[in-house]
Amino acid sequence: MEAGHKLFKEAMKRIIGVKPKLGDGDETVQEYPIPESEYCIRVWGGGLVDDGRCCFDFTQNGRAVNTPPEYKIISIPQPTDSFPEEVEVKSAEASAGIKDIIEGEEKYFVEQGAHYRVIRPNKPDVIFVIPYYAPPKPRLSPKEVRRRAPYPTMPFISLNSSLPCKNGTWHPVGSGLRRRWCTGCPSDNC
């Protein structure tokens, strides 16, 4: 019986987003009190640690609660982000369009190491950083992605940019979302 219970607990760790229960032995659970507030931010693995992600929610007196009224979570961009802009982060339930979220069931799925700002009325903003639970998995280089891709890939080009042709000269490739092939090169290999 004990072995079956242990297997069940291990399986539940891989079901993503399951909220931790008090005393369940989940060592990924961390709570951070929000200054000048009765709320805490609770972060846990949620079965996503190996993927470089995790979950967080709000707690009040040790109980899970939904996002407090008028609180907003804003992502803080980092220099390495692809799209460095502040964006309001929505919970999984709000993103799915659920209007009446069951009290205490709201949660956020986030990347480990991400930075967030909690905006709350008539109080200073609070900044928090999601912890790293494991070293981040190395990302594939563009060259490795092309090598592994089962189909031909094109290099990333920004809008209104230029690309070198095979003879080393640069030609505009057009604008918009469609790429135009080089027509101004004396080489037929372009």
pLDDT, one tens digit per residue, over 116-156 is 999 999 999 999 999 888 766 666 666 776 676 665 555 54
Nearest to 22 by CA among 63, 67, 65, 68: 63
101 lies in the same domain as 160? no
Q: Which residues contact 53 (CB under 8 A, 6 or more apart)?
A: 46, 109, 110, 111, 112
What is the helix (H) or strand (E) element at residue 145, kind and residue range? helix 142-148
Whether 83 and 122 map to the same domain: the answer is yes
pTM of the entire structure? 0.64
Q: Which residues form the domain of 175?
A: 140-190
Q: Out of 129, 156, 179, pick the residue that ends a domain.
A: 129
165 versus 104: the higher-pLDDT residue is: 104
Domain annotation covers residue 39: yes
Tokens of 78: 């980092």
With respect to residue 135, please indicate whether it lies within any of the assigned structural domains. Answer: no
Tell me, yes or no, whether 80 and 162 share the same domain.
no
Q: How many domains does the chain have?
A: 2
107, 92 Cβ separation under 8 angstroms: yes
Predicted confidence (pLDDT) per residue in 24-55, tens digit: 777 888 899 999 999 999 999 888 887 888 89
Cβ proximity of 120 and 70 under 8 Å: yes
Within-domain flag for 134 = no
| 97 in the same domain as 27 | yes
Residues 15 and 79 in one domain: yes
